[in-house]
Structure 1
């Protein structure tokens, strides 16, 4: 019974992965009208993600399944806790409107279990966290350089801006870039849902990847429309060539990371790429403090939130420890209270300032 529950939760998680990060891969082509049909855009995403997972998802599955904590810890109950911890954190984040990375949330949930059992492969974990920082920075630098080149080229040759007969070919290039990004998402992110099952020997790696890829594709087709609309509207200010630079850079970097078994946050890689292009296009003003804060918040909140949830679930249901639960509840209460208090103080200061402004 528990095995079926674990499988259902994993496949539901895979559908949500397809609906969120994977569907966003086609945002640039859809937003720039390189591909006008939403259904066609989602179909291309689904096929690309499926192929990415089936052809190259094995190494990341191995890392998620046995590279962060010893696989002998992974019982059916622990797998359910890892998946529920990650999925529940994503659900809460969606309610609050905070975008989280599925890769970071899954790794955080696994680390929470490792901390509870005091058994972690810290070396591998340090490498993963390091690349969470390194790859977005590399994405920014590459797209910045490409952005400078594209800006000069578009000034010199106006047809590169997507006007006239070249619009069709530049549109096709952008769609290919979106497919590459979706391929890389399938390669990297399907492991988040399937890896714990494979690590616990509940399903073989090949069957797990096939099922995960299938449900990720279903999620993209059935639930990805809203994400596609939102993401497309956010990046319509990019030209066809600039959008291609972002997609090809992000997709290539995530594919390289996947080959080495590193779970990487595609959303942050893509966001950093957009920032790189934007900085080359509009200058340092693109690097607004609010955008940087948002990236840092996602980077910090994603793994820490799921770590706390999975650690709490372990102490509630597996290693029942009232003291640890009390400490966690008190810490969360203190953190939330501090945030709320700081908001009240800011509002009071703002009200005082507004009241005095007319004197």
Structure 2
């Protein structure tokens, strides 16, 4: 009973962080363009959209709960490991303000547990991974093409937006941002409650309701930094850019949710922003340090959650300490060699400098 209570607490703490990371990013464009001037209002709109979308997230919950690992192996202990690893990883990235995909850390943790228990639905995993590449790429290409067309139209006809047009675009931007938040809730609520539904600890309806509520709360109270990152630190966006980005991201993630694919929402949104920014400054957008940092976190986070979940499962469920010792030794050795290599490069650089001065 105690473990069930702990799992419920961790799951909803995770949902809180899911809201901060995913749904808060959905209103970043409206906030960044100044349509929604107050951060708190943007976060409230994001939370409301997320809460409504979560109520329709059943298909993705099925995939997370039963699509990657057998329900016979997804015990309450295994679910606890998945939720703990996912929540801690996501909480860390929220603190540093990086928009991380909750789907990545959750799927990574499930795969880690599945590998340890020696049963993984590999075909389903490969299908999910393919969508992780296709959907963000589609978002980038779509917004890039729209950006080129808009740029051509504005330059050819010397388009100057009227007050009426500006008002219409502002309304559309808020609506498409709300759509994006709805899609985020629909897709991401599964990451928090899916393992417990799969382990028959929580019913689907109760999980969708409480998970959605905590996601909304997370968006409101912890989403500020992610909102700033997506809205103001990646690329300057016009109103028309924002409508295209939010509309594209919302529709793509909504489609993935309907067929039950857990999709990296923040990757889709950020890829769409980069696609628009590339039209204005192709070289500069790729040199943006924020983009580099986000990509590094995207690549590293699922691998980190996979390794940690695997190690915890080996120790707590399989009582196999030897594998964990080997993995830990390999990680320590890699870190030592990496630092040694950096030191050698620095020393070599200093040697050349002294030689030149002499």
TM > 0.5 fold call: yes
Establish whether residue 22 from structure 1 lines up as the match of residue 38 from structure 2.
no
Q: Distance in 2 between matches of 1:349 and 1:267?
A: 41
Displacement of 1:3:
0.5
Listed one character per residue, the Cα deviations across residues 74-113 of structure 1 (whole Å, up to 9, x for unaligned) are: 1111111111111222345556776532110000000001
CA contact (8 A) 2:169 2:240 kept: yes
TM-score by length of 1: 0.92
Displacement of 1:141:
0.9
For structure 2, which runs of at least 5 residues remain unmatched after alignment?
A: none
CA contact (8 A) 1:85 1:309 kept: yes
CA contact (8 A) 1:32 1:236 kept: no
Aligned partner of 1:90 in structure 2 is 90
Aligned partner of 1:103 in structure 2 is 103
For structure 1, which runs of at least 5 residues remain unmatched after alignment?
A: none
Q: Distance in 2 between matches of 1:179 and 1:36?
A: 16
Aligned partner of 2:226 in structure 1 is 227
How many residues align? The count is 356
Listed one character per residue, the Cα deviations across residues 24-65 of structure 1 (whole Å, up to 9, x for unaligned) are: 1111111111111222211111110011111x2111100000
Q: Distance in 2 between matches of 1:350 and 1:251?
A: 49
CA contact (8 A) 2:18 2:90 kept: no
Displacement of 1:293:
5.0
Q: Distance in 1 between matches of 2:278 and 2:19?
A: 30
Aligned partner of 1:134 in structure 2 is 134
Aligned partner of 2:50 in structure 1 is 49
SS in 2 for 1:72: coil
Q: Distance in 1 between matches of 2:128 and 2:24?
A: 24
Q: Distance in 1 between matches of 2:256 and 2:292?
A: 25
Displacement of 1:260:
1.2
Displacement of 1:356:
5.9
Aligned partner of 2:285 in structure 1 is 286
**For the structure 1 residues 95 and 153, does the alpha-carbon distance in structure 2 shift closer, same or farther, using more than 3 Å as the test?**
same
Displacement of 1:343:
3.3
Listed one character per residue, the Cα deviations across residues 136-194 of structure 1 (whole Å, up to 9, x for unaligned) are: 1111111111111111223325334xx63422221111111211111111011111000
Aligned partner of 1:257 in structure 2 is 256
TM-score by length of 2: 0.92
Displacement of 1:282:
2.5
**For the structure 1 residues 347 and 95, does the alpha-carbon distance in structure 2 shift closer, same or farther, using more than 3 Å as the test?**
farther
User: In terms of mean alpha carbon deviation, does 76-85 or 345-354 score higher?
Assistant: 345-354
